[in-house]
């Protein structure tokens, strides 16, 4: 981890700039774009995904370079693509949605909680079929108009 100098400034007086970036099924926008355009990852893309998925990490000691997190051995940069390409591609991309215990793949969520509405609540749906589906889910408390 980097070592930072001590600051003698009140944090309330600091300006903090925070950015947002894409992070998705193919890692960053760089690696996603490469897969969309050519279907292949560059050497830099393989390294980026190997690093972000925890397969390699940078160490300065005993010798500066990329180390395999499983074995602890130094990996020469010229071997990174050959060694990690297939594994990072296997770990990336769109996957089938499966029930992991938190969300049901049939779109019924056990994370739902009961709330009290002090007045009727109305909302618009895109079709009569959607409206009927809401009524069917909770016919005692739902009306479609």
Percent of the chain with pLDDT over 70: 82
Tally of domains within the chain: 1
pLDDT bucket at 17, cuts 50 / 70 / 90? low
For residue 112, is it within any domain? Answer: no
**Collapsed DSSP state (helix, strand, coil) of residue 84:** helix
How far apart CA 12 and CA 9 sit, in angstroms, is 8
Which pLDDT belongs to residue 98? Answer: 60
Which pLDDT belongs to residue 120? Answer: 83
CB burial class (10 A; 0-12, 13-18, 19+) of residue 52? middle
For residue 62, is it within any domain? Answer: yes
2-6, 63-67, 100-104: least confident range = 100-104
Tens of pLDDT, residues 26-57: 888 889 888 888 889 999 999 999 999 999 99
> Which DSSP letter does residue 13 get?
G
Which pLDDT belongs to residue 10? Answer: 85
Tens of pLDDT, residues 98-126: 655 555 556 555 555 677 778 888 888 88
Paired strand residues for 59: 65
What tokens does 2 get?
A: 């980097």
Paired strand residues for 136: none
Does 1 score more than 60 pLDDT? Answer: yes
Question: Is 74 within 8 Å of 67 (Cβ atoms)?
Answer: yes
- Run of H or E residues at 66: strand 65-68
Range of the domain at 46: 16-91
How far apart CA 88 and CA 80 sit, in angstroms, is 11
Question: Is 35 within 8 Å of 42 (Cβ atoms)?
Answer: no
């Amino acid at each position: 981890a980097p070592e930072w100098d001590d600051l003698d400034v009140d944090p309330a007086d600091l300006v903090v700039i925070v950015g947002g970036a894409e992070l998705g099924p193919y890692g960053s926008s760089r690696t996603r774009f490469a897969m969309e355009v050519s279907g292949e990852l560059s050497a830099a893309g393989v390294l980026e995904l190997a690093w972000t998925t925890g397969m390699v990490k940078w160490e300065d000691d005993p010798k500066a370079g990329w180390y395999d997190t499983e074995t602890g051995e130094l990996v020469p940069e010229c071997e990174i693509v050959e060694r990690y390409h297939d594994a990072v591609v296997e770990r990336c991309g769109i996957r089938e949605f499966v029930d992991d215990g938190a969300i049901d793949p049939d779109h019924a969520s056990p994370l739902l909680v009961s709330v009290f509405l002090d007045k009727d609540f109305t909302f618009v749906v895109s079709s009569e079929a959607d409206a009927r589906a809401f009524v069917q889910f909770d016919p005692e408390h739902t009306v479609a108009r």
